[in-house]
């Protein structure tokens, strides 16, 4: 599995033709205590950079963007039921949704972990 990052602080874990997407630990730290998460519907077609989900904290509400084009094949109901998971395990159990990748060429514009760390430094 390959993990890539966006400048908007989303991560993608690529497994074959499916990308699991969440927000980075950096993003959740900036948001503060997460109190609400709204996820896209399974079956929804998303275009790259389209607002896909919403995460609200005690400080602010923020959109989560589709880092690539694809179709939502699964959502993580656990973070809707328990939004605080985003604060405790942003890079793991608190993934937001999974996309069937429409164009693997779009992955080329994303950052690896070293580039993302430099971006947030």
β pairing state of 10-15 and 34-38: unpaired
Whole-model pTM: value is 0.95
Over residues 80-90, the pLDDT tens digits come to: 999 999 999 99
114 within some domain? no
For residue 20, being part of any structural domain is answered with yes
CATH number at residue 8: 2.40.50.100
Domain count along the chain: 1
Which residues form the domain of 76? Answer: 2-104
Q: What is the pLDDT of residues 13-58, one digit of tens each?
A: 999 999 999 999 999 999 999 999 999 999 999 999 999 999 999 9
Written as one string, the DSSP assignment of 27-81 is HHHHH-SEEEEE-PPTT-EE-TT-EEEEEEESS-EEEEE-SS-EEEEEE-HHHHH
**pLDDT digits over 95-119, tens only?**
999 999 999 999 999 999 999 999 9
Residue 109, domain member (yes or no) = no
């Amino acid at each position: 599995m390959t993990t890539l990052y966006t400048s908007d602080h989303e991560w993608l874990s690529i497994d074959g033709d499916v990308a699991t997407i969440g927000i980075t630990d950096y993003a959740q730290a900036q948001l503060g205590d997460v109190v609400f998460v709204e996820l896209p519907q399974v079956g929804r077609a998303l275009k790259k950079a389209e607002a896909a989900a919403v995460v609200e904290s005690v400080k602010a509400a923020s959109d989560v963007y589709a880092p690539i084009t694809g179709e939502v094949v699964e959502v993580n109901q656990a973070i809707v039921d328990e939004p605080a998971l985003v604060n405790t395990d942003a890079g793991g159990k608190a993934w937001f949704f999974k996309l069937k990748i429409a164009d693997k060429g779009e992955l080329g514009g994303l950052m690896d972990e070293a580039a993302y760390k430099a971006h947030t430094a």
